[in-house]
Structure 1
Amino acid sequence: MPLSHPIRFGANYVPSAGWFHSWLDLSPDAVRRDFADLAGIGLDHVRIFPIWPWLQPNRGLIRRRGVDDLLTVIDIAAEFGLSVAVDLLQGHLSSFDFLPSWVLTWHRRSLFTDPDVRAGLAAYAAAVAGAVAGRGNVFAVTLGNEVNNLYPANPTTPEASTRWAAELIDVVRAAAPGLLSLHSLYDATWYDPAHPFHPADNVDLGDLTTVHSWVFNGVSAVDGPLGPATVTHADYLVELAAATSLDPARPVWLQEVGAPRPDVPEADAPAFVRATLEAVTANPALWGVTWWCSHDLDRSLADFPDREYDLGLFTVGHRAKPAAAELASAIEECRRAARTAARRPALLCDVDLRTEPERRAEVAPGSAFHTEWVRLRQAGPLAIVTTGRADDAGHLSARGIDAVLTQA
């Protein structure tokens, strides 16, 4: 993606009425009201989440009504000039897992390793990706929302996880050859040494890399809600991804980022939005930013972690929150500014996450490497480069790196 291409800005769509349960009795008018909110602050896309067991309640049945409802939401997005990324496997959403009965109870089997489940998933992926590919405003299909959250309830190994994702990426590409095909994982894949989904999967599988930046992973405890470690965490993840990829030009999509309470108090949310975007939009690898999430969660719905209720840019009553106004302002400024290929230094990292996933803790928030990167990042944009590529002039040039720094 050339640097002159504008950064994309969007929202992960959480319906204001009924949360994702609204798919059970879709109201097109409610969707229109929600999308009017998002278009009104200058967003250009939404990421939407059809619920897997409601579309494929049996391994041999894909509900046409469910697919039609998905297409209706896509068409409504087009009415507001919004392009759409579709996630297939929900899967995991806001602490709840949505799995069909044919992988549970007496039928319990791992969706990552069982051949019958994988065959059912392939049929589902082909049907849904093929259906949405016919809509001109759809640009991407992601296998699912943070599918690695479904481990360990669905046991797997690193080898099986890679094969599972690679097979489904091939299915999506065959069914929807004009769309981006993507694999989405939460940050245990970057930081947890024992996690069976590896960093290489993020940067090898699919057409671009996605990262999800959540400061409740411990980074906000380093220096507080507006500290440099917290507001540069999204940029740090983008850099880890860029440093791990074999392709120095591979774009990185910040597919989820949000201001969760209590890590980011409500009064600090606008400043968090501004500082986070100022840091990450300076990164030449960045393809786009998709905020989590569009609308708050109605507190009449029970049993969610408390932080999930107030993550929206808008209230359930469609009032734009201060974070939404700050996001809109930042988007306008970013689109006015020319995107230039500025040079920057890189901090040398002796951990290669591609080949040494067992060393992931050495780059996790609070590690010596992360601490030094945050310290140096305060002086301006700072890349990350691994030891094996530090002398590769072509790699450094492609990523805009003009000097390599070592840890103090």
Structure 2
Amino acid sequence: MTPQPPGLTTPLRFGANYVPSSGWFYSWLDFSADAARRDFADLAGIGLDHVRVFPIWPWIQPNRTLIRQRGIDDLLALIDVAAEFDLDVSVDLLQGHLSSFDFLPSWVLTWHRRSLFTDAAVRDGIVAYVDRLTRAVATRGNVFAVTLGNEVNNLWPSNATTPEASSAWAAELVEVARKAAPHLLSLHSLYDGSWYEPDHPFHPADNVGIGDLTTVHSWVFNGVSGIDGPLGPATVTHADYLVELAAATSADPARPVWLQEVGAPRPDIGEQDAPAFVRGMLDAVTANPALYGVTWWCSHDLDRGLADFPDREYDLGLFTVDHAIKPATRELAAVVAEQRANRTAPASRPALVCDVDLRTQPERRGEVAPGSPFHREWVRLRQAGPLAIVGAAHAADPTYLLARGIGSVLTPPGDLVCD
């Protein structure tokens, strides 16, 4: 189905990316429904309505022609546990990449090494996997979406690709998922290199053109926090900026944008600053009429007994491994309650005009990256209140501006124009 944009008075979705409190994703190797119940009780207790879950691809499809039913059954059991707590579920299919580790099946590695994105036999295996898993999870009424995988562009350059191959790969697999479960949202997930890096082989056009809505992942360790610190305006509004870039890039002014990942990573956001960051970031982004929902990364901390993760990965949870709630989590819960009680229609906003068309000019991505003159001007103006971004081609189109909730347009000073 094609999703409808959230009406301005429609409650936003709020959820968490589910990281098991015990054993991280290695817990799939000996799945425990009772452990999941304890984790989901935490999340339901703060008012969240959904979880995004991550089955590990090579543990379900260890051979190109073998898909393990036991792995699928464990995933379905997890989804059923979520339903016990009135939590809806979005399922990421290809993991793929998680918390700095890649999980790839042996049939694309060692002497079999071949690219996920360009090898025909690998594509056939992935098609079978996407079709089988999507059909299985679609049997559960609390599943609302499937995503091809978590930030699949992290699997480049270890899997060679080109922009054309990347786009064709995603378009084919989204269509496989749609045919398998027409009632679910079928989505594509990319980290922000696709928005900001001029030579990245995954393009913004894929973000906004493939899948039923746009997903964005906002992480301030991409350089944003270095601009003005943990609570500076560039850092606090980065999620809103990325949602705006996505809305401005889409050919459809009503296409929703899901903030599918956002978190408060250390050391960029210190523990003492995390509650204020959560409040400021959410106050900014929830005013955006394009926003579909917010899914926090992540549900639970990572046990420091597990080795070799980047240090910031250990403390990203809303809850500790012992299920203790954090001050930042209480702030998130307060925002969720406020939004559910009273999401009012945002006032008409101004928009800053940008000459870069990210759909057709991906080589100019650096001109809108964090720290660029355009970004800095947007941040400066954003401090006065909600601020859209509009491409130059639409800046004088009243129908388009109305659809985006834009009441006036602002042209950057000559030395800041994106050209």
TM-score bracket, normalised by the shorter chain, equals: over 0.9
Report the counterpart of residue 288 of structure 1 in structure 2: 293
Aligned-partner Cα distance in 2 for 1:4–1:259: 27
Q: Given that residues 266 and 315 in structure 2 are in contact (C-alpha distance below 8 angstroms), is that contact kept between their aligned partners in structure 1?
A: yes
Deviations 1:191-236 (A, max 9, x none): 0000000001000000000000000000000000000000000000
Aligned-partner Cα distance in 2 for 1:334–1:272: 17
Report the counterpart of residue 64 of structure 2 in structure 1: 59
Report the counterpart of residue 204 of structure 1 in structure 2: 209
Report the counterpart of residue 390 of structure 2 in structure 1: 385
Report the counterpart of residue 312 of structure 1 in structure 2: 317
Q: CA deviation at 1:335?
A: 1.2
2:351 alignment partner, SS class: strand
TM-score using structure 2 length: 0.97
2:272 alignment partner, SS class: helix
Deviations 1:262-309 (A, max 9, x none): 000000001110000000000000000000000000000000000000
Tell me if 1:218 matches 2:195: no
Match of 1:260 among 258, 262, 265: 265
Aligned-partner Cα distance in 2 for 1:178–1:62: 24
Report the counterpart of residue 323 of structure 1 in structure 2: 328
Task: Report matched runs for 1:2-401 at 5 Å.
Answer: 2-401=7-406
Q: Given that residues 10 and 343 in structure 2 are in contact (C-alpha distance below 8 angstroms), is that contact kept between their aligned partners in structure 1?
A: no
Q: CA deviation at 1:334?
A: 1.2
Q: Given that residues 347 and 404 in structure 1 are in contact (C-alpha distance below 8 angstroms), is that contact kept between their aligned partners in structure 2?
A: yes
Q: Given that residues 196 and 366 in structure 2 are in contact (C-alpha distance below 8 angstroms), is that contact kept between their aligned partners in structure 1?
A: yes
TM-score using structure 1 length: 0.99
Deviations 1:169-189 (A, max 9, x none): 000001111100000000000
Aligned-partner Cα distance in 2 for 1:338–1:308: 32
1:210 alignment partner, SS class: strand
Deviations 1:332-370 (A, max 9, x none): 111111331420000000111011000000000000000
**Number of equivalent positions:** 408
Q: Given that residues 229 and 374 in structure 1 are in contact (C-alpha distance below 8 angstroms), is that contact kept between their aligned partners in structure 2?
A: yes
Q: Given that residues 8 and 343 in structure 2 are in contact (C-alpha distance below 8 angstroms), is that contact kept between their aligned partners in structure 1?
A: no
Q: Given that residues 349 and 384 in structure 1 are in contact (C-alpha distance below 8 angstroms), is that contact kept between their aligned partners in structure 2?
A: yes
Report the counterpart of residue 416 of structure 2 in structure 1: none
8-17 or 329-338, larger mean C-alpha shift: 329-338
1:266 alignment partner, SS class: coil
Q: Given that residues 219 and 229 in structure 1 are in contact (C-alpha distance below 8 angstroms), is that contact kept between their aligned partners in structure 2?
A: yes
2:11 alignment partner, SS class: coil
Q: Given that residues 266 and 312 in structure 2 are in contact (C-alpha distance below 8 angstroms), is that contact kept between their aligned partners in structure 1?
A: yes
Q: Which amino acid aligns with 2:283?
A: E
Aligned-partner Cα distance in 1 for 2:166–2:348: 37
Report the counterpart of residue 417 of structure 2 in structure 1: none
Q: CA deviation at 1:323?
A: 1.1
Aligned-partner Cα distance in 1 for 2:343–2:277: 23
Aligned-partner Cα distance in 2 for 1:382–1:33: 41
Q: Where do 4+ consecutive residues of structure 1 move more than 6 Å?
A: none
2:273 alignment partner, SS class: helix
Q: Given that residues 145 and 184 in structure 1 are in contact (C-alpha distance below 8 angstroms), is that contact kept between their aligned partners in structure 2?
A: yes
Structure 1 residue runs of 5 or longer lacking an equivalent are none
Q: CA deviation at 1:393?
A: 1.1
Aligned-partner Cα distance in 1 for 2:315–2:411: 41
Q: Given that residues 111 and 118 in structure 1 are in contact (C-alpha distance below 8 angstroms), is that contact kept between their aligned partners in structure 2?
A: yes
